[in-house]
Chain A
């Protein structure tokens, strides 16, 4: 099955700086890569996703890049704000079937 690895496990950044989280996946057949933000005691919220026919996607301060050859994908958050503090999960799936999640990254934005 699919195995998704996520790094780092914790990330502390100064407000206004950028945050980058990286994930690798094992199954070359995976073609859908979402990123979720989870706040304490809540369910995950989709913040951005990318499909394998696209190399990069951006939505305001958030961007995701995908390298299919290397089986890497990354989340980039620019101009971080305190409200960006949360746990972020990457995931991968094939043909929109069940998701395999990374272990999560706890992001802390220091004011």
Chain B
């Protein structure tokens, strides 16, 4: 089946630094990937839709200059949290879809803690 790999699984960084999270589709090519943020005991909130070879589409209220998304190949999308602050601490999850018949597969998530 479709497998999505996400790295790192957890990261701790200092305020003001940047952190990159990778999302890879291991056994399929994904033209579209999605990035979500999940705060404790809450649902998944879509941040942006990552499209291979073009700019990402951000949801309302998500700062595109703070959350940089790059989808340079059909198997890799990256999310960079720039100038991280403690309020950016959250669980970030990516998902990918091969096509309309296969639905969405989620990565294992990245726990970001900004200190």
Which A residues form the contact surface with B (CB < 8 A)?
32, 34, 36, 41-46, 49, 89, 95-96, 98-104
Contact = CB atoms under 8 A, between A and B. Distances in A.
Given A43-B93, A44-B93, A98-B34, A104 B43 contact: yes
Looking at chain B's contact residues, is the secondary structure mostly helix, strand, loop, or mixed? strand
Contacts of B49: 98
Contacts of B105: 46
Nearest to B102: A96
Range class of the B interface residue count: 20 to 34
Contacts of A32: 103
21 contacts: A34-B104, A41-B91, A41-B111, A42-B108, A43-B6, A43-B93, A46-B103, A46-B105, A46-B106, A89-B43, A95-B100, A96-B97, A96-B99, A96-B100, A96-B103, A98-B46, A98-B49, A99-B46, A99-B95, A99-B104, A100-B46
Nearest to B104: A99
Looking at chain A's contact residues, is the secondary structure mostly helix, strand, loop, or mixed? loop
3 closest A-B pairs (Cβ-Cβ)? Answer: A43-B106, A96-B100, A43-B109
Contacts of A99: 34, 46, 95, 104
A106 B105 CA distance: 21
A45 B42 CA distance: 16
B26 interface: no
Interface in B66-98: 91, 93, 95, 97
A99 B44 CA distance: 10
Contacts of B107: 43
